[in-house]
Structure 1
C-alpha cells in the first residue's frame, strides 16, 4: 500500500506542476489575446480533441493491462500501440487541415500548435504506459519537473523575440516538445529501459479491433466534454466561449487528477478477484467523493478571488468555475468505475453509457445554452456526468452491481466508523 500511496504523492506533485503551467498559459493567453480570441483557441482545441478521439484509438488502458500481465513483452506492446496511434495521427492532421482550411489566422496558428503538441504527446506515451503499469510514476514526475526548469528560460527568450502576438499560441507546442526530449533521456538513461523495438502482428490486430470498438465510447466522451464549447460558440459567440473555457480550464485541470488516481491503482485492480475489486471500488469512491465535496466547497468560496487574479474582473468566469467544479462528484467516482469495466472487459457498457450521456448533454445544451447562457452548459454537463458515471450502471446486467456498490459508497460517507473499518480491510489487500 505504501508503494501506491508514494506513487500517488509523486504523481500529485507532477500534476501540481502541470496545473501551474496550464493555469499560467490560460491566464497569459486571455491577457495577451483577449477573451474573444481565447475563445477561438478553445474552439480549435475542442475541434481537434474530437477529431483525435476518432482516429487515435483509445487503447492506452489495454496496453497498460497487457504490460501488467506480461512484463517480458513490454516492447511488443509499447511499439505496436504507438505505431497504431501514429497512423491515426496522420489522419487527424489531414482531417483538421480540411476542416479548418479557410479559417482566420489565429485559428490556423492554434491548430498548428495543438497538432505539434499532440504529436509529441503521442510519442511520449510509451514512457508513461510503462511507468503506469510498473507503478513507477516518479520517473514521469522527474520528466515533468526537469522539463519545467528547461521550459522557463526557453519561453522567456521566445516571448521576448516574437513580433506577432499570435505566436504566443506556440507556447503550448514548445512545452510538449521539451517534455518529450527530457522524457526520452530519463526513460533511456535513468529508468534504463530495456524494451526492444518489436511489432506483434497479433496484438496489432487485437488493439485495432478493440480500439475501433471503443471509438464510439471515446468519441462520446469527447462529445459531452468538448461540445459545450462548440455549442456556446454557435449560440452566444466567442466572448462567452472564452469565459466558459477560462473557467473550465481551472476545473478540468483538477479533474485530470481523477484519471491519475485511478491509473495508479489500475494494475492492482486488474490482479484482484471480482469481490475484492468491488470492495476496493467502494472504498475508493467514498474517499474521492469526500475529497471532491471538500475541494468543491473551497473552490466555490475562493472562485471570485482566484479568477480575478488570473483573468481580471469577470463575474461569468467566477460563476462557471464555482458551479462546474461540482461535476467532480461523478468524474472522480467514474474514473474508478471505468477501470473496473476495463479490467473485466465490459467494453460494451463503457461505450453505451457514454453515448447515452453525450446525447443527453447535447440535447440539454440545445435548450439550456440559449435560455441560461454558459450556466446552462454547466448544468447540462453535471446531468451528463451523473448519467454516465452513476445512473447508467443500473441499465446493464454486467454493471448493475456497480450501481449498488456506488450507492453504498455514498451512504458510507455518513458512517465514519464503518468507513474506517472498511478502509483498514482494504489495506490488507495491498500487503
Structure 2
C-alpha cells in the first residue's frame, strides 16, 4: 500500500519511517487498550479507591529512582548508534552496566525517601511494597536494547516485545482478580511486568542475529556517555518530578483513597502519551538526516511534526473532555466512589497537548545538542508544578492537581520562547497550537 505524501518529507523516506512508526504505534495501542481495560477499570474496581491508592503509591516513589537509574542514556545512545553503528558492542555494553549499577544504587535512596515521607505523614503502604517495585529500576537496565532497534529503524521488534509482554501481564492480573488474591500479589505483578519486557528484549535481540555476550564495558566510553548524557539524566529526573509529584503530594495532603481515584484519571489521560513517543522516536532519524543534508527541509519537517502533534492531541482532548462523565459512569457503574474523577479527567487531558509538543521539541533540542536547555525547561516546569500543588491541592483537592499539571506542562513546553537561540522553534509550536500553520497549508492548496 502506498503511503500518501506529506509536504516536507521525501516519499521514499516517508514510506520507510511511516512503516517504523506504524509498528511502534501498534505496540503502544495494544499497551493502551490493555492498560485501560485491565489496570484502570478491572483492577481499580476490584481493589477500590484505598487499596488502588496503596498499589499506585510505590510506583509514584519508584518513578524517580527509575529516572535516575536510566542516566539519560536511551536517547543519546540511539543518536550515537545512528552516527557510529560500528561501536554497537561497546555502546550497548557500557550503557547496560552503567544502568545496572545505577539501578542498585537507587535502592537506598528509595528507602530514605520513604522514611522521610512517613516521618511527616502516616501511610498505609508498607515499605516492602515500595522495595519490591523499586527493583524495576534494576531490571530495566536491559531495556537499553530498545535504543539499538530505534537506531536500526526496526520497531517491529519493540512491537513484538511490548504486545506479548502486556498480554501476559494482563492475563496474570486478570487471573489474580478472578481468584481474588490479596494486594501483595498485584505489587509483585508490577515488578514482573518489567521482567517480562526485559526477557522479551533479550530474546528478540538474539533472534536478530546479535549477542549480548559481545557487549563490552569500557571506562572511557562510560565517561564519555556520562559527560554527554548527564543533563538528559537530570532532565529525566525533573520530568518524573513534574509528572509524578502531584500523586505524591495528593497522598501526603489527601490520603491514599484520593490517590486511588486520581490514579485512574492519570492512567486514562496518559494512555495516549504513547502517540508522540511513537511518532517522534520513529521519525527522529529522518529529522537528523535532514539536518545534515538540507536545513530548509529540516525546519519543514519539524513544523510538520508540530502540526501533527497538535492535530492528534487536540482531537483526544476534545473527545475525552466530553466523554469523561460517561466513561466513569459506565466503567465504574458499581463503584460511584470513583465518579469524582470525571471532571478531573476533563481538565487533566488537556495537558496532553503540551506533552505532545514537548516530546517533539525535545527531539529538536537533542538534535541541536541543547541538552542543558532541555534540563532547564523541565526544571522550570517541575518547580511550577510543585508550587501550584502546594496551594491548589489543599484548597481544591485532586482537580487542583490537574490544573497544576496543565499549567506546569504548558510553562515547560514553551519555556524555549524565552531563549533567543530556540525562540524560532517556540514560534513554530505556537503556529501549530493556534492552527496557523494548518490554515496556511490549506490556503496554499
**Is TM-score (shorter-chain normalized) higher than 0.5?**
yes
Corresponding residue for residue 56 of structure 1:
70
Could you list the per-position Cα deviations for residues 30-62 of structure 1 after superposition, in whole angstroms to 9, with x for gaps in the alignment? 223321122223222111112333343112111
CA distance in structure 1 between the partners assigned to 2:24 and 2:444 by the alignment:
27
CA distance in structure 2 between the partners assigned to 1:238 and 1:156 by the alignment:
23
**Is residue 290–residue 413 contact of structure 1 (8 Å, CA) maintained in 2?**
no
Query: How much has 1:307 moved relative to structure 2?
Result: 2.7
Corresponding residue for residue 306 of structure 1:
327
Q: 1:87 to 1:72 in 2, by over 3 A?
A: same
1:31-430 equivalences under 5 Å are 31-100=45-114, 106-126=125-145, 128-148=146-166, 150-151=168-169, 164-189=182-207, 191-193=208-210, 196-273=214-291, 274-311=295-332, 312-313=335-336, 314-390=338-414, 392-413=415-436, 415-416=438-439, 418=441
Residue 3 (str. 1) matches residue 27 (str. 2): no
Q: 1:234 to 1:348 in 2, by over 3 A?
A: same
| Structure 1 unmatched runs, 5+ | 423-431
CA distance in structure 2 between the partners assigned to 1:374 and 1:156 by the alignment:
28
**Is residue 265–residue 341 contact of structure 2 (8 Å, CA) maintained in 1?**
yes
Query: How much has 1:337 moved relative to structure 2?
Result: 0.5
Query: How much has 1:284 moved relative to structure 2?
Result: 1.0
Higher deviation after alignment, 92-101 or 399-408? 92-101
Q: CA RMSD in A?
A: 2.5
What secondary structure is seen at the aligned counterpart in 1 of 2:271?
helix
Residue 15 (str. 1) matches residue 28 (str. 2): yes
Query: How much has 1:289 moved relative to structure 2?
Result: 0.4
What secondary structure is seen at the aligned counterpart in 1 of 2:421?
coil
How many residues get paired?
Answer: 419
Higher deviation after alignment, 314-323 or 268-277? 268-277
Taking structure 1 as the reference length, the TM-score comes to 0.89
Could you list the per-position Cα deviations for residues 127-160 of structure 1 after superposition, in whole angstroms to 9, with x for gaps in the alignment? x111111111011111223334555555566667
CA distance in structure 1 between the partners assigned to 2:195 and 2:435 by the alignment:
45
**Is residue 20–residue 153 contact of structure 2 (8 Å, CA) maintained in 1?**
yes
**Is residue 277–residue 340 contact of structure 1 (8 Å, CA) maintained in 2?**
no
| Structure 2 unmatched runs, 5+ | 1-13
Query: How much has 1:276 moved relative to structure 2?
Result: 2.9
CA distance in structure 2 between the partners assigned to 1:11 and 1:263 by the alignment:
9
Taking structure 2 as the reference length, the TM-score comes to 0.86
Q: 1:83 to 1:162 in 2, by over 3 A?
A: farther
